[in-house]
Structure 1
């Protein structure tokens, strides 16, 4: 990724991210990216940077829910398709399903098991935040199970203290900003 594109994205992420103390529980400082996505400059800069990261993809996988917004913008920019990696129970059967742990509990991700040929496709995972890595790892496992070649993951913000990068290793992760 070019230093100019990364620098522009990083500056706007820093400027526009809202920090909320004690959410979702006491002692946690929540990083709210909603203002970044709602700002035309922020959305454009983040989309451009993530598209550079995933330039060799032939399919983008956006993770429910903010990953849908980012993934669709990146896929449109790259002129490729976008697969919605959904929370459990949102897709009609048959599905491939992966349970995983979150910072505050557990969850399930699903992708269609029919109707979309994933075997041999070069896929980049796009999401808003890399925290403990559970969501990105689960998405990667689902895509790999379906036969896709998962090239890497691109995220807007990485919460380095939670060490999610170690959990998704050896999958390459590009973070536009690190907190």
Structure 2
């Protein structure tokens, strides 16, 4: 993906790029496979704040998280159903990653998502946090059939505030729909 992005940008701006060969075999992430989800009470790192969110009525009882650098440009985690299917995705974007995310129009936000921002030190761009109600293309359905706006907002608030505190960022502002 990075190579193709570089090639397209080089073509658009008249630059040259030296790219490698296309990949023919790529191992897939273990997202959704048995053994990757764990109870919400065992969340770690930036997701530890989600331990205190009340999953009652959310359709989720577990979490999938990934070990990462202490301060990555992007952090992802997934709240999963009893069947270990991702029902909500939580994302944090910093610096250039936040700028890129915003330039896409927040990925097509609708009323089944919540976004928050905060200013962070050493960055000219605000950090962006988002939670989405996820769709499962394998089953053509939502693993969590009924989106809970109040749960999504409280989960995002806990996640974003913990991330902001960890990185020394300012107060988190949840974006409200008009």
TM over 0.5: no
With normalisation by structure 1, the TM-score equals 0.30
Larger radius of gyration: 2
- Which structure dedicates a bigger proportion of its chain to strand? 1
Normalised by the length of structure 2, the TM-score is 0.30
